[in-house]
């Protein structure tokens, strides 16, 4: 099914807008009734949507997905550059498409995936890591949260809970369905999920396109109360966020966001955002990076209508996971710094990203500095790996997931 | 690309080892991967990553086929990469299919309207994990497209399932006529 919206086409699955909000579902239903699917021109694949006619011959296309676990001989950690005193080592391997990270109370590291349906658990036994595939056959289980002994998994359109998971890694229980009425669009449909200090689960519902006027249900960060199943919109105007974390002292939500494609090599920037109140709107699809009106949809609008990002991260860098550094191992100045993973670009003639960046904030929460923390996944125009998520370990080391190598790395500091 | 960086890329696959490992494959997929059995896809000149990834999908039971799954079950990643490199290096032979000219012409219109060349490239030669379609077998194309439409044929990221939704059965027939007749 395709739904025509204002001036561009949005790609939606036939199950789109299934039931997040009754209003939106009714609207989608009305559109289905009105449209003659055979007569409507088909939308291009979502990655090519919004490409201007003069770029029709562009060779740029999304990087192929990581579906394999590479052998250690193809994991080139010797190429990674870190600040003085830091080291990186291969901590666990053999997990195709390893993406989002969460840590259990007993130290189990959980790893979500986007494209292979698996969730992994890594257990450290006397300095040796044992990797278990604890869940299989899920649909885009990219979002994972550990809470009260349970593992919550956000699939494309539903959230599941596996109780008492750390005691049942070899035989996980049947899941309890926490919420099952999220949209089923595949483009930007996979979730990043984090636990709020209020006990709610926070996650993205991405725009189902590169650039379009999204349905009311999309391009937002939402939250679900896992006990009552109540769902709320937190902020709007977010194209797609696949990384978020709460500040350890202010308790405010921060998140990364991917800007639109096909508007040039250097515009717009991907962005980092701070949520200072519920109901903020960060501008998509009308205004990008806080000050760049969309060449088409921005007509007649102004960026002053919208809330500003906390930081421009660079064009096409594809920021994913982020954490505030709350450990004791790194030097004192790292306390509460954001470390974020840039998965790396495709829609740019020269590749960029493929690194870990660090963001220093001042006491009021304003960004003071944005600088490289780790780089070397990209060599020339070729990458051997792509960082996805980061996670502070109980001992203060930092884990990094990589969905091209299917491995986890551990970054440590020794004076 | 500077020669220095070559070792960084996904382990150099061995075409000659792939030829030996593919001896069992060509029984169905045909000499050098040019299939003649009905419903069996040709693999000659497929992008290596496509063959590698589909073998993984079969081994991990994310794509299922009574004939294919048992073969993939026993292959490791290295075997798969070698086999993929071998088929990728083979020349496709002229397809035996004789297209209905009217259906093929209608298929070209459907192809353009549905942007198939965006991912499969304008000549439908494929790239990376996206298959070459040009000259693929009619029966196989028909079955895959219907499978994507009705959800019985899984794909890696949902792109093809979505692309197939607006296609009618007639569209699919026309598309298959056009694609199968491409040299």
Cβ separation B156–A67 shorter than 8 A:
yes
Nearest-by-Cβ selection for A65 from B52, B114, B157:
B157
Q: What is the pLDDT along chain A (415 residues), one digit of tens a residue?
A: 333 333 333 333 333 434 344 334 334 444 444 443 444 578 899 999 999 999 988 999 999 999 999 999 999 999 999 999 999 999 999 999 999 999 999 999 999 999 999 999 999 998 899 999 999 999 999 999 999 999 999 999 999 999 999 999 999 999 999 999 999 999 999 999 999 999 999 999 999 999 999 999 999 999 999 999 999 999 999 999 999 999 999 999 999 999 999 999 999 999 999 999 999 999 999 999 999 999 999 999 999 999 999 999 999 999 999 999 999 999 999 999 999 999 999 999 999 999 999 999 998 899 999 999 999 999 999 999 999 999 999 999 999 999 999 999 999 999 8
Cβ separation A186–B159 shorter than 8 A:
yes
Q: What is the 3-state secondary structure (H, E, C) of A248-296?
A: CCCCCEEEEECCCCCCCCCCCEEEEEEECCCCCECCCCCEECCCEECCC
Residue of B8, B50, B80 to mutate when probing chain A, most A C-beta within 10 A: B8
Say if residue B102 is exposed, middle or buried (CB neighbours under 10 Å; 0-12, 13-18, 19+): exposed
B5: confidence class by pLDDT, cuts 50, 70, 90: very low
Residue numbers in A near B157 (CB within 8 A)? 65, 115, 186
Nearest-by-Cβ selection for A117 from B52, B62, B159:
B62
Would you state the pLDDT for residue A8?
34
The whole-angstrom distance between A184's CA and the closest CA on chain B is: 11
Token representation of residue A31:
């559109």
Would you state the pLDDT for residue B11?
59
The phi, psi pair for A359, rounded to 5°, reads: -120, 120
CB pairs under 8 A between A and B: 84
Say if residue B86 is exposed, middle or buried (CB neighbours under 10 Å; 0-12, 13-18, 19+): buried
d(CA A136, CA A23): 34
DSSP state of B130: B
Residue numbers in B near A61 (CB within 8 A)? 119, 127-128
- Whether A153 and A136 have beta carbons less than 8 Å apart is answered as no
Would you state the pLDDT for residue B8?
47
Residue numbers in A near B49 (CB within 8 A)? 64
DSSP state of A364: T
Give whole-number Cα distances, B90 to A54, B17, B18, B176, in Å. Answer: 35, 14, 11, 23
Residue of A15, A41, A43, A45 to mutate when probing chain B, most B C-beta within 10 A: A45
Residue numbers in A near B51 (CB within 8 A)? none
Residue numbers in B near A351 (CB within 8 A)? none
Domains and CATH numbers, chain B: 3-88 (1.10.760.10), 101-180 (1.10.760.10)
Would you state the pLDDT for residue B157?
95
Would you state the pLDDT for residue A415?
81
Would you state the pLDDT for residue A40?
57
Say if residue A159 is exposed, middle or buried (CB neighbours under 10 Å; 0-12, 13-18, 19+): buried
Token representation of residue A407:
């491995």
By the CB < 8 Å criterion, does A124 face chain B?
no
Quick: pLDDT tens for B79-122: 999 999 999 999 999 778 999 999 999 999 999 999 999 999 99
Residue numbers in B near A208 (CB within 8 A)? none
The answer to whether the peptide bond before residue A285 is cis (omega within 30 degrees of 0) is yes
Give whole-number Cα distances, A175 to A159, A180, A201, A225, in Å. Answer: 9, 12, 16, 17
Cβ separation B1–A382 shorter than 8 A:
yes
- Whether A361 and A336 have beta carbons less than 8 Å apart is answered as yes
Cβ separation A382–B165 shorter than 8 A:
no
Cβ separation A14–B165 shorter than 8 A:
yes
Give whole-number Cα distances, A248 to A44, A104, A123, A341, A383, in Å. Answer: 42, 18, 26, 19, 33
Residue of A10, A67, A377 to mutate when probing chain B, most B C-beta within 10 A: A67
Strand duo A2-5 + A8-11: pairing: antiparallel
Q: Across chain B, what does the average pLDDT equal?
A: 93
Cβ separation B115–A48 shorter than 8 A:
yes
pTM: 0.92
Nearest-by-Cβ selection for B166 from A1, A70, A187:
A1
Cβ separation A44–B115 shorter than 8 A:
yes
Cβ separation A76–B8 shorter than 8 A:
yes
Cβ separation B161–A71 shorter than 8 A:
no
Quick: pLDDT tens for B37-63: 989 999 999 999 999 999 999 999 999
């Amino acid at each position: 099914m395709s739904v025509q919206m204002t001036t561009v086409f949005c790609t939606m699955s036939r199950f789109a807008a299934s039931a997040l909000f009754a209003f939106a579902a009714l609207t989608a239903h009305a559109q289905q009734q009105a449209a003659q699917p055979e007569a409507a021109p088909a939308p291009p694949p979502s990655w090519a949507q919004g490409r201007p006619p003069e770029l029709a011959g562009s060779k740029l296309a999304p990087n192929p997905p990581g579906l394999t676990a590479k052998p250690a001989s193809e994991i080139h950690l010797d190429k990674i550059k870190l600040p003085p005193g830091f080291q990186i080592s291969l901590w666990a391997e053999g997990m195709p498409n390893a993406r989002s990270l969460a840590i259990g109370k007993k130290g189990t590291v959980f790893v979500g995936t986007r494209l292979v349906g698996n969730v992994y658990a890594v257990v450290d036994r006397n300095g040796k890591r044992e990797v278990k595939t604890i869940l299989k056959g899920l649909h885009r289980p990219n979002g994972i949260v550990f809470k009260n002994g349970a593992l919550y998994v956000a699939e494309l359109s539903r959230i599941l809970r596996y109780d008492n998971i750390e005691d049942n890694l070899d035989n996980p229980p049947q899941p309890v369905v926490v919420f099952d009425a999220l949209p089923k669009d595949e483009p930007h449909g996979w979730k990043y999920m984090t636990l709020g200090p209020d006990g709610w689960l926070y996650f993205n519902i991405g725009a189902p396109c590169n650039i379009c006027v999204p349905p009311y249900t999309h391009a937002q960060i939402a939250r679900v109360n896992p006990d009552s199943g109540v769902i709320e919109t937190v902020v709007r105007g977010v194209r797609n966020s696949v990384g978020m974390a709460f500040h350890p002292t202010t308790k405010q939500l921060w998140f990364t966001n991917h800007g639109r494609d096909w508007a040039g090599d250097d515009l717009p920037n991907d962005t980092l955002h701070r949520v200072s109140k519920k109901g903020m709107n960060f501008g998509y699809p009308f205004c990008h990076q806080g000050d760049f009106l969309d060449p088409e949809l921005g007509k007649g609008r102004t960026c002053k209508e919208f809330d500003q990002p906390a930081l421009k991260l660079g064009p096409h860098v594809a920021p994913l996971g982020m954490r505030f550094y709350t450990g004791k191992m790194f030097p004192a100045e790292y306390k509460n710094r954001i470390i974020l993973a840039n998965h790396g670009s495709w829609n740019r003639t020269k590749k960029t990203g493929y690194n870990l960046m660090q963001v220093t904030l001042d006491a009021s929460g304003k960004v003071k500095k944005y600088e490289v923390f780790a780089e070397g996944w990209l060599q020339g125009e070729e990458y051997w790996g792509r960082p996805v998520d980061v996670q502070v370990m109980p001992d203060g080391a930092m884990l990094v997931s990589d969905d091209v190598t299917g491995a986890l790395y551990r970054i440590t500091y020794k004076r | 690309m500077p020669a220095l960086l070559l070792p960084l890329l996904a382990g150099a696959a061995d075409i000659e080892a792939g030829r030996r490992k593919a001896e069992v494959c060509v029984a169905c997929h045909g000499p050098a991967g040019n299939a003649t059995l009905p419903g069996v896809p040709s693999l000659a000149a497929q992008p290596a990553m496509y063959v590698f990834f589909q073998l993984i999908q079969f081994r991990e039971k994310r794509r299922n086929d009574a004939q294919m799954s048992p073969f993939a079950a026993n292959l490791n990643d290295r075997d798969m990469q070698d086999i993929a490199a071998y088929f990728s290096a083979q020349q496709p032979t002229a397809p035996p299919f004789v297209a209905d000219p009217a259906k093929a012409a209608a298929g070209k219109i459907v192809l353009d309207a549905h942007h198939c060349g965006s991912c499969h490239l304008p000549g439908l030669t494929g790239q990376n994990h996206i298959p070459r379609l040009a000259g693929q077998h009619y029966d196989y194309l028909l079955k895959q497209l219907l499978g994507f439409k009705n959800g019985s044929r899984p794909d890696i990221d949902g792109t093809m399932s979505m692309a197939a939704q607006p296609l009618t059965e007639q569209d699919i027939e026309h598309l298959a006529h056009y694609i199968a007749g491409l040299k």
